[in-house]
Amino acid sequence: MRNKLRVLRAERSWSQADLGAQLDVSRQAVNAIETGKYDPSLPLAFKIARLFELPIEEIFHDSNV
């Protein structure tokens, strides 16, 4: 799974810690999602989508497609 989280975060000049605080997760979780080492659960993916006011599929992309 690929995602645009790093780009969206950079556009808002947020650090990984800032984003983690808004999503109520650790900085390590944000880093793992951004680097593709961890795919978030559906509830967390929805939370990310709500925070950036975007549909999930605009943030996360299936790397096989």
Where does this chain bind another protein (CB under 8 A)?
A: 17, 20-21, 24-26, 28-29, 32-33, 37-38, 40-41, 43-44
Shorter beta-carbon distance to another protein: residue 38 or 52: 38
Nearer to another protein, 4 or 23 (CB): 23
Least spacing, CB of residue 32 vs another protein, in Å? 6
Running DSSP on this structure, what letter comes out for residue 61? E
Burial of 3 (C-beta count, 10 Å sphere; 0-12/13-18/19+): buried
Looking at the DSSP assignment, which residues form a beta bridge with residue 2? 61
